[in-house]
């Protein structure tokens, strides 16, 4: 496979994953999870499945592009607050997942990488909120319940991502 066709393959795959992440982000808004678990700001984090896949099966730059593009488009749909939250949570989660993926198979399973992403996502979002409102107490108030529910949602998205990651050993060379 020559260089240009490999690039087209990569572009197509990344674009596909961005749209998948967007659909998941929008679809999870229709799940009234906060009615079942009354934690302010709780989310399933379904788009985390896409980031997990990208981190485990593609290159770091692909994962970065997917997260940033998804945040930009979500921001265009839902406004600047969403953009800020999505970028902060998404990028911090990506950074920790890229760290954790180095220990994949040896130290962490897919679920562990998902847990790291979920926790980092929550920390990033609440940190941005407390920066915007200049109130550090927001961290202590809003973060603990989100971290605890993140253990459950992170496990669930990790389990959901596992078969995808396991079965799709794409012909996209990590080293390429």
Partner 1 sequence: MQIGAITITTTAEKPSRTPVGRQPVRWYQYLKWGDWVLYALIGLLAAVMFALAPGRLASPGTGAVLERGGEVILTLSAADLAASGSADVVSGAYHYHLVYTDGRIRFAEADCPDKICVRTGWISRPGQIAACVPGDLILKLTGTGDPDQTDDVDVIVR
- Which of 50/149 has CB closer to partner 1? 149
3-state helix, strand, coil in the chain (%, to 5): 80, 0, 20
Dihedral sign, Cα of residue 78, residue 83, residue 85, residue 87: positive
**Of 79, 170, 174, 176, which lies in the binding site for partner 1, with binding defined by CB under 8 A?**
79
Dihedral sign, Cα of residue 104, residue 109, residue 112, residue 117: positive
| Beta bridge pairs of residue 166 | none
| Beta bridge pairs of residue 108 | 104
Instruction: Verify binding: residue 75, partner 1, rule CB under 8 A.
Output: no
- Which of 13/138 has CB closer to partner 1? 138
Shortest Cβ 61–partner 1 spacing (Å) = 25
Which listed range, 8-16, 32-40, 44-52, 57-65, lies at the site for partner 1 (CB under 8 A)?
Answer: 32-40
Q: Which helix (H) or strand (E) is 7 found in, with range? A: helix 3-27
Instruction: Verify binding: residue 12, partner 1, rule CB under 8 A.
Output: no
Instruction: Verify binding: residue 162, partner 1, rule CB under 8 A.
Output: yes
Shortest Cβ 24–partner 1 spacing (Å) = 17
CB count in 10 Å sphere of residue 88: 21
- Distance (Å, whole) CA 19 – CA 82: 17
**Of 137, 167, 169, 175, which lies in the binding site for partner 1, with binding defined by CB under 8 A?**
137
**Of 159, 170, 174, 176, which lies in the binding site for partner 1, with binding defined by CB under 8 A?**
159
**Of 15, 34, 76, 170, which lies in the binding site for partner 1, with binding defined by CB under 8 A?**
34
- Which of 11/151 has CB closer to partner 1? 151
For residue 125, give both structure tokens: 């979002």
Reported as half-sphere exposure (CB side, CA atoms, 13 A), residue 112 has a value of 12
Instruction: Verify binding: residue 91, partner 1, rule CB under 8 A.
Output: no
Which listed range, 8-16, 17-25, 61-69, 106-114, lies at the site for partner 1 (CB under 8 A)?
Answer: 106-114
């Amino acid at each position: 496979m020559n260089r240009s066709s490999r690039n087209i393959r990569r572009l197509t795959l990344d674009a596909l994953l961005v749209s998948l992440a967007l659909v998941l982000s929008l679809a999870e808004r229709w799940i009234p999870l906060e009615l079942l678990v009354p934690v302010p700001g709780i989310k399933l984090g379904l788009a985390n499945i896409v980031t997990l896949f990208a981190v485990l099966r593609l290159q770091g730059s692909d994962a970065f592009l997917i997260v940033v593009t998804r945040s930009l488009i979500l921001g265009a749909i839902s406004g600047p607050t969403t953009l800020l939250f999505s970028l902060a949570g998404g990028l911090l989660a990506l950074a920790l997942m890229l760290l954790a993926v180095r220990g994949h198979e040896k130290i962490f399973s897919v679920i562990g990488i998902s847990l790291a992403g979920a926790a980092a996502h929550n920390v990033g979002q609440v940190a941005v909120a407390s920066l915007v409102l200049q109130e550090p107490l927001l961290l202590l108030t809003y973060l603990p319940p989100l971290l605890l529910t993140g253990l459950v949602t992170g496990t669930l998205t990790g389990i959901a991502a596992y078969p995808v990651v396991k079965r799709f050993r794409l012909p996209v060379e990590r080293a390429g």
